[in-house]
Amino acid sequence: MSIRLDNIPDLSLVFPLFNEEQNIVSLISSISDEFDKHNINYELVMVNNGSLDSTGKILRERSKSNPRLKIVTIEKNQGYGLGIIKGLRNASGKYLGFMCGDGQIAPADIVNVYFNLQNGDCDLSKVVRVQRQDGLIRYLNSLVYNLLFRRVFGIPSADINGTPKIFKRALFEKLDLLSKDWFVDCELMIKTSLLSVKMKEIPVVFLPRKDGSSNVRIGHVVEFIRNMIRYKFGREIRRWKKKELSS
């Protein structure tokens, strides 16, 4: 059976993938089945973010038979954020979004986030992980991370890094995302808060990772603190505010 793909998909969902050869096939299959069930016109922007395993090969093979896959290749991994930014810049949809490629969010929850944006009165829709199944250490790290972020920036979200985040294309064009590392979620939340964007959060269960391993490392804590200081006091965010808030 042939798959119809309109010239402009309604939704483009970006997945930055680094050494996810064990997850790709089930990830694509499960999300595609759920989107097809709801008659969503979509594309999956799969970013091979400098993978050292068979991620790129598997993506190329899958794209030959699936016109809904768009492959973006980054030869050398420079960070999670760059994979997202490159993917979003290559996306065609009217609505754009991104999420991790580890399969820890149920496809039905992704659909709920999208419909919440499409049918609601908000410009940004995202998940908030109310139950996590990824271990005590990751939970405690996330708890401290979010508490510190809310204290510094005053943004009322209990899950800054929760994805998928789905938003209107017009909003993405205003954000001018620059963070190549894990701070890209925080940058997006800071800028949408400054723009007074209406946001809605959908509570979800964060499922255990079936295969592969997490790419979050202890060094990201230092990176996070450094980036918080830069975005709180640096010239970068001041320049963006002057440009966007005065237009």
Q: Are 156 and 144 in contact (CB under 8 A)?
A: no
The reply to whether 4 falls in a domain is: no
Please tell me whether the overall predicted TM-score, pTM, comes out greater than 0.75 for this model.
yes
Q: H helices of 5-126, where? A: 24-37, 55-65, 80-89, 107-119
CB 3 within 8 Å of CB 68: yes
Q: What does the pLDDT profile of the chain (247 residues) look like in tens digits?
A: 334 445 899 999 999 999 999 999 999 999 999 999 999 999 999 999 999 999 999 999 999 999 999 999 999 999 999 999 999 999 999 999 999 998 999 999 999 999 999 988 899 999 999 987 676 777 777 788 899 999 999 998 989 999 999 999 999 999 999 999 999 999 999 999 999 999 999 999 989 877 655 555 556 678 888 999 999 999 989 999 998 987 7
CA distance linking residue 114 with residue 165, whole number of Å: 9
Q: Are 195 and 244 in contact (CB under 8 A)?
A: yes
Tell whether 82 is covered by a domain: yes
- With respect to residue 1, please indicate whether it lies within any of the assigned structural domains: no
Closest Cα partner for 80 from 220, 228, 235, 236? 220
CATH of the domain at 78: 3.90.550.10
The answer to whether residue 29 is domain-embedded is: yes
For residue 3, tell me if it sits in a domain.
no
Q: How many domains does the chain contain in total?
A: 1
Range of the domain at 125: 11-244
Q: Would 6 be classed as within a structural domain?
A: no
**154 located within any domain:** yes
